[in-house]
Amino acid sequence: MKKRYTDEQIIGFLKQAAAGTPVKELCRKHGFSDASFYIWRQKFGGMDVPDAKRLRALEAENAKLKKLLAEAILDKEALKVVVRENRKPAGQTRRRGSHAGQNPDLRTPGLPVAGPGAQRAALRNAETGRWAESPAG
């Protein structure tokens, strides 16, 4: 955003007002509102030009540091997601189908599997360890 007045000009206006020039006259003469004058007085009141320059430099540095912090937080969250995905054991990967999340070794052979695929209940063949379609299905 382009500013119409520099910090040095604003401090000059404030010093003129402190010297006794009425605020309304300053506003009319230089073309700014009295609300702007009071905002400037709140921000720059009692400062000299070097102080205002220092304030501007500190504000710029603060904005830069906030941006760096936000980027670092995003990087940290992304790394957490990657680490979380890499820590999953091979057996805990997501399975698809009606048997998702079930350990086939813990089921009782011959009983239908409850869940979305219950119509096609699968039986585990004890000899081969493979799954075969149920004769009832």
* 78-93 tens-digit pLDDT: 999 999 888 877 666 5
CB atoms closer than 10 angstroms to residue 118: 11
73 part of a folded domain: yes
The pLDDT assigned to 120 comes to: 45
For the ranges 2-16, 29-43, 62-76, which has the lowest average pLDDT?
A: 2-16
Mean pLDDT of 59-71: 97
Mean pLDDT of 18-22: 93
Yes or no: say if 47 and 11 are a contact pair by the CB < 8 Å rule.
yes
Q: What is the pTM of this model?
A: 0.47
Amino acid, single-letter form, for residue 66: K
The pLDDT assigned to 137 comes to: 45
Pairwise CA distance, residues 46 & 63, whole Å? 24
114 part of a folded domain: no
Say if residue 6 is in the same domain as residue 43.
yes
Higher pLDDT, 10 or 119: 10
Pairwise CA distance, residues 65 & 48, whole Å? 26
Pairwise CA distance, residues 32 & 9, whole Å? 12
- The yes-or-no verdict on residue 20 having pLDDT over 70 is yes
Say if residue 23 is in the same domain as residue 3.
yes
Say if residue 1 is in the same domain as residue 43.
yes
The pLDDT assigned to 118 comes to: 44
The pLDDT assigned to 119 comes to: 44
Say if residue 2 is in the same domain as residue 42.
yes
Say if residue 34 is in the same domain as residue 4.
yes
For 8, 33, 47, 51, 100, the CA distances from 36, given in Å and listed in that order, are 15, 5, 17, 20, 65
Pairwise CA distance, residues 37 & 14, whole Å? 8
Say if residue 41 is in the same domain as residue 62.
no
Output the six-digit token pair for 50. 């070097």
**74: domain range?**
48-88
% pLDDT > 70, the chain: 63
The pLDDT assigned to 121 comes to: 43
- The yes-or-no verdict on residue 68 having pLDDT over 70 is yes
Structural domains in the chain (count)? 2
The pLDDT assigned to 3 comes to: 76
Q: What is the DSSP letter of 115?
A: S
Say if residue 53 is in the same domain as residue 37.
no
Output the six-digit token pair for 89. 């054991």
59 part of a folded domain: yes
78 part of a folded domain: yes
The pLDDT assigned to 14 comes to: 93
Say if residue 2 is in the same domain as residue 34.
yes
